[in-house]
A and B are shown apart, each in its own frame.
Chain A
Amino acid sequence: MDWTQLNSAFTLFLSLLVEAVPFLLLGVLFSGLLQFFVDERKLVRLMPRNAFLGALAGSCMGFLFPVCECGNVPVARRLIMQGVPSSVAIGFLLAAPTINPIVFWATWTAFRDQPEMVFLRIGCSLIIATTIGWVFSAQKDLRPFLQPAVARAMPSKKGTRNGGQASQATSDTPALLQSGTYFLGQSEQRVDPMDFQAAAIAAAGKPTGYKLNLMLEGMVQEFRELGGVLVFGSAIAAMLQVFVPREAILALGQGPISSILAMMLLAAVVSICSTVDSFFALAFSSTFTTGSLLAFLVFGPMIDLKGIGLLLSIFKPRAVFYLIALAAQMTFLFAFVVNLYFS
């Protein structure tokens, strides 16, 4: 390792961060807006009871929250804390980075000559996210899969349908102080769903300025939390890119199977945002199979090194492993079918 390589790695690392930070901020902003200005109780009530339809609805919610994979995690975490059914939250988590208007437009621009890529990407992501959301709905109570702090923040089972509005504010005054007490991980105290109810009512009656203050406070917390994780992920991605020869990844193959595996690996390593990854994939469009490009575009937004760090802020490692395994297998299957029959 010499100085040039180190500087390359650092430049790459900064570049990933500089590109990701705006989207992260956008994500925590949407998360904050959702928290204080959208009535989740209504949103939760709107979600279909049926697990499959719920997963489908969750997957399509990306159109309401156009965030990439840096931004979908805070929103998904917020949704889980509000007591949204697991199928909806997981469907949203996996699909939102792809099923949203910005990514649709970017992919369309990049693959203007191959419009089928756009529809294959959207279609496969939707099917995979919905299916995994559906599978996770078998786990009625998501709590054992969640990080303790997130699990504690969820409304208890009976409160699920009327999940609280403001998870940070638990009473009228002083709200900021209360929010701190509420998140205190050290105490074993369970939050009573009635407190959420009270907070929701209290926050609902407050002037916009008050809600805005709470929202910005939440943004600061999430930004620092997720930002720290993002630093880790970007550092790993940058080091792998600079210190592992790209040929070592690319040489894995041109075949219908190996190319898919190589592109999935590349997607996970490069950790590039879904809003721009189609341009990156375009770079490989003539040397890699169509199926493998599709795998890159479908798998990358769901799972990458940067995102795994963020996912661990919601889920326990076991659940993250299930998510990765399911997403990888289904992506591979779709890409393989495309390689065999459509290219």
Chain B
Amino acid sequence: MARPARSLMPWLDVLAIAAWGFLLLKYWLTGKLYLLIHPNYTWLTVVTGIALLLLATWRAIGILKQPDNFVSQASSHLALLPRGWGSTLLLAMAILGLLITPRAFASQTAIQRGVADAPTLTRVKPQAFRGSANSEDKSIIDWVRTLTVYPEPDAYTGQKAKVQGFVIHPTNMPDQYLLISRFVITCCAADVYPVSLPVKLSQNRNTYKPDTWLEIEGQMITETLAGKRQLAIAASSIQPIPEPKNPYDY
């Protein structure tokens, strides 16, 4: 068919590959990579971004040097997808990725992923335990891990707590309680799972909308919620905080 259309095909590959290189590096530079994968894999993403840019550059130089070879090349296909679709799809997704900012998961996802069962949550990686002398240095996940090892809530009654997380309104708890939550990421966003602690408020929870980030200070108490005895924080101070750059815990 039209030669101009065919001669654009090789450039589509260059664009798609370069766009993915840019996208990966952009996520890294803007800190959005935290929302997508565990920091352990950051280097992998950066190396890949650079490699893709180099590949695109090499390809572009090749096309400029010997356009005829590449025109013919572009018309060939191994082809599950029709000609040009692979690059078009990749390019389209990279552009969408550049335009739409990924957002941290929020309460809706947490509820969908079973945060309501949080008190029975037993996922634990003992090697990731962070010992801390002061109970108020413990994050939500530290508390949950400690509870997993020794699940008697009375053992912690009276200890001070100071945790940061986002708000969830669980349907199975009275209006005076909310869940303060964090997502834990082990690899990528596909495997994030929520951990949370119930917080007892002195007023109705509607003051604190779901998904707002709070720093909560208080004392540990034992409550019976949803038919289970469990550890909760009796809040003495509640401060709204901005969403952290890296909202996940590990």
Given A11-B189, A272-B191, verify A21-B72 contact (CB < 8 Å).
no
Residue of B35, B55, B58, B73 contacting most chain A CB atoms (<10 Å):
B73
**Interchain CB contact under 8 A, B69 and A11:** no
Q: With the chains together, A283 CA to B117 CA distance in Å? A: 14
**Interchain CB contact under 8 A, B80 and A8:** no
Q: With the chains together, A276 CA to B100 CA distance in Å? A: 27
**Interchain CB contact under 8 A, B108 and A150:** no
Q: With the chains together, A270 CA to B76 CA distance in Å? A: 33
Classify the secondary structure of B's interface with A.
Answer: helix
Given A10-B100, A228-B87, A247-B114, verify A15-B80 contact (CB < 8 Å).
no
Q: Can you spell out 27 A-B residue pairs with CB atoms less than 8 angstroms apart?
A: A7-B100, A11-B189, A12-B189, A12-B190, A18-B27, A19-B37, A19-B41, A19-B187, A25-B51, A25-B52, A112-B127, A176-B66, A179-B73, A181-B72, A183-B77, A185-B78, A216-B58, A224-B86, A224-B90, A238-B190, A270-B190, A272-B188, A280-B186, A282-B123, A286-B123, A287-B122, A313-B78
A-B contact count (CB 8 A): 199
Q: Does A325 make an interface contact (CB < 8 A)?
A: no
Q: With the chains together, A18 CA to B41 CA distance in Å? A: 10
Q: With the chains together, A280 CA to B96 CA distance in Å? A: 28
**Interchain CB contact under 8 A, B33 and A18:** yes
A302 → chain B closest CB, angstroms: 18
Given A220-B55, A224-B13, verify A184-B190 contact (CB < 8 Å).
no
Q: Does A279 make an interface contact (CB < 8 A)?
A: yes
Find chain A residues with CB under 8 A from B106 CB: 4, 8
**Interchain CB contact under 8 A, B13 and A14:** no
A130 → chain B closest CB, angstroms: 28
Q: Does B85 make an interface contact (CB < 8 A)?
A: yes
Q: With the chains together, A15 CA to B38 CA distance in Å? A: 10
Q: Which 6 A-B pairs have the closest CB atoms?
A: A228-B86, A15-B189, A183-B76, A286-B122, A276-B187, A279-B186
Find chain A residues with CB under 8 A from B189 CB: 11-12, 14-16
Residue ranges of A at the interface with B (Cβ–Cβ < 8 Å): 4-5, 7-8, 10-12, 14-19, 21-22, 25, 110, 112-113, 147, 149-150, 153, 174, 176-177, 179-185, 213, 216-217, 219-229, 231-232, 237-238, 241-242, 245-247, 250, 270-273, 276, 279-280, 282-287, 309, 312-313
Residue of A with least CB distance to B90: A227
Q: Does B16 make an interface contact (CB < 8 A)?
A: yes
Q: With the chains together, A50 CA to B97 CA distance in Å? A: 49
**Interchain CB contact under 8 A, A237 and B188:** no
Q: Does B171 make an interface contact (CB < 8 A)?
A: no
Residue of B with least CB distance to A109: B127
Find chain B residues with CB under 8 A from A237 CB: 190
Find chain A residues with CB under 8 A from B33 CB: 18
Residue of A with least CB distance to B105: A8
**Interchain CB contact under 8 A, A5 and B80:** no
Residue of B with least CB distance to A213: B62
Residue of B68, B96, B123 contacting most chain A CB atoms (<10 Å):
B123
Find chain B residues with CB under 8 A from A219 CB: 55
Query: Contact partner of B108 among A5, A12, A25, A217, CB < 8 A?
Result: A5
A288 → chain B closest CB, angstroms: 11
Produce 1/0 per residue, B49-92, CB < 8 A to A: 00110010011001000101110111111111100011111100
B228 → chain A closest CB, angstroms: 16
Q: Does B47 make an interface contact (CB < 8 A)?
A: yes
Q: Does B125 make an interface contact (CB < 8 A)?
A: yes
Residue of A with least CB distance to B148: A286
Q: Does B212 make an interface contact (CB < 8 A)?
A: no
**Interchain CB contact under 8 A, B76 and A245:** no
Query: Contact partner of B36 among A11, A112, A174, CB < 8 A?
Result: A11
**Interchain CB contact under 8 A, B76 and A231:** no
Q: With the chains together, A242 CA to B189 CA distance in Å? A: 12
A320 → chain B closest CB, angstroms: 12
Find chain B residues with CB under 8 A from A228 CB: 81, 85-90
